[in-house]
Amino acid sequence: MLDFIARRLIAIVPVLGLVAVFVFLMLRLTPGDPAAVIAGDNATNEQIAAIRAQLGLDEPLLKQFVIWIGKVLQGDFGESYFFKKTVASLILQRVEPTLALSLCAIVFAVSVAVPLGVIAAYKHGSLIDRGVMAFSVVGFSMPVFVIGYLLIYVFAIELELLPVQGYRRFGEDVGLFFRHIALPSVTVSVIYIALIARITRTSVLEVMNEDYIRTARAKGLSDVVVLMRHALRNAAVPILTVIGLGIAVLIGGAVVTESVYGLPGLGRLTVEAVLSRDYPTLQAVILLFSGIYVFINLAIDIGYTLLDPRIRY
């Protein structure tokens, strides 16, 4: 197992290396010029050229890459072209809202979706089952921003229960933190709930026809024990896979959700960096997201062994 983890950790290096090269090239090949953005709309060509030279953007591409990757290898992601701040400090400042949103959404989604899926499987063909499946279809089909605006309209504007926008840090005020993160978490978790509930239902239904379930029933075990102890555990591997893969959906959804709710997170930082062509920030954020994906996949693989003792690496 340790060998497997070590091998996977070593494999991360070339993956992130390729991502770094790809991101660097993609950004440089994308139309747009950060110097022109910085200089502003009324700037002359001379002003733009002076800023380009100052940022080192007039250097050959290879030289720019070598300088950047050299710094990254030393743990220095550079300074944002716009803010007089290091990229690391910008990311640190923005990481909490995204982390909070992701964690709250995952916890909420899993706690709602897994029981829903199990109940739907148990009550296969019933109204409850059809209801869960209908919710799944709607959850998948409805864009995140539509869900966001609907929830804002109902809970913030009409009922005045929760704020429309903004974020309060957990350390500042726990109550306000939860008031501000509630609607965004529910918004982003809808699609996630739909995904997990559907897969949970299918996986549980599949194992419910297995011989060992029939044996468990024949032994006189109650439905709840059969479901929770035998069916769900054996159905857990595909569910865990979907939860892991769903984090990709979650991060994608976070970009939109953070905009709709005015959360100052990494999703919005990414969008702002794209729009303003802030290469150092964008490169660092994409590398960070890539690293997170790789580690999530590793964590899922390790999780398989805990859920299914037959799986060994």
Partner 1 sequence: MSNIRKGLKALLAATAMAVVAASAASASAQTLKVVMHSDLKIIDPIWTTAYIVRNHGYLIYDTLFSMDEKLDVKPQMVDKWDVSADKLTYSFTLRDGLEWHDGKPVTTADVIASIKRWGAKDSMGQKLMSFTKELKAVDAKTFQLVLNEPYGLVLMSLGKPSSNVPFMMPKAVADGDPNTQLSDTTGSGPFIFKKDEWKPGEKVVYVKNPKYKPRAEAANGLSGGKVAKLDRVEWIAMADLQTAVNALSTGEIDMIEVPPHDLLPVLAKDRNVKLFDANPFGNQYTFRFNTLQKPFDDPKVRQAVAYAFNQKDFLDAVIGDAKYYKECKAMFVCGSPLESTKGWDDKLGSNYAKAKELLAAAKYDGTPIVLMQSTDLGVLTNLAPVAKSHLEKAGFKVDMQAMDWQTLVARRAKKDPANAGGWHAFLTSWVSADILNPVMAGFFNSACDKAMFGWPCDEQMEKLRDQFSRETDAAKQKAIAEAAQVRASEFLTHIHLGQWYQPVAMRNNIDGMLSAPVTLFWNITKK
- Tell whether residue 77 is a contact of partner 1 (CB under 8 A): no
- CA angle, residues 300, 241, 261, in degrees to nearest 5: 95
269 touches partner 1 (CB under 8 A): yes
Nearest residue (CB) to partner 1, 98 versus 234: 98
Q: In whole angstroms, how far apart are CA 75 and each of 15, 86, 88, 241, 308? A: 17, 12, 9, 32, 38
Q: Which stretch binds partner 1 (CB under 8 A): 47-55, 195-203, 223-231, 294-302?
A: 47-55
131 closest CA partner among 209, 204, 198: 198
**Where on the phi/psi map is residue 242: left (φ > 0), alpha (ψ -120 to 50), or beta?**
alpha
Helix axes of 174-208 and 232-260: crossing angle, nearest 10 degrees: 140
Rule CB under 8 A: say whether 219 interacts with partner 1.
Answer: no
Q: Is 289 or 293 the residue whose CB approaches partner 1 more closely? A: 289
Q: Is the dihedral of CA 11, 14, 17, 18 positive or negative?
A: negative
83 sits near partner 1 (criterion: CB under 8 A): yes
Question: Of the listed pieces 11-19, 49-57, 105-113, 191-199, which binds partner 1 according to CB under 8 A?
Answer: 49-57
Exactly one of 277, 279, 282, 286 binds partner 1 (CB under 8 A); which one?
Answer: 277
Assess contact for 33 and 52: CB atoms under 8 A: yes
Specify the stretch interacting with partner 1 by CB under 8 A; choose among 106-114, 132-140, 155-163, 286-294: 155-163
Q: Quote the CA–CA distance of 38 and 74 in Å, as a whole number.
A: 27
Q: Can you tell me which of 152, 194, 199, 216 binds partner 1, judged by CB under 8 A?
A: 152
Shortest separation between residue 155's beta carbon and partner 1, angstroms: 11
Judged by CB under 8 A, does residue 304 bind partner 1? no
Compute the distance between CA of residue 197 and CA of residue 135 in angstroms, rounded to an integer: 9
Q: By CB under 8 A, which span of 69-77, 84-92, 121-129, 187-195 interacts with partner 1?
A: 84-92
Tokens linked to 63: 């030289």
Under rule CB under 8 A, residue 142 binds partner 1: no
Binding-site ranges for partner 1 (CB under 8 A) = 31-33, 36-45, 47-48, 50-51, 54, 80, 82-85, 90, 93-94, 149, 152-153, 156-157, 160, 163-167, 258-262, 264, 268-269, 271-272, 275-277
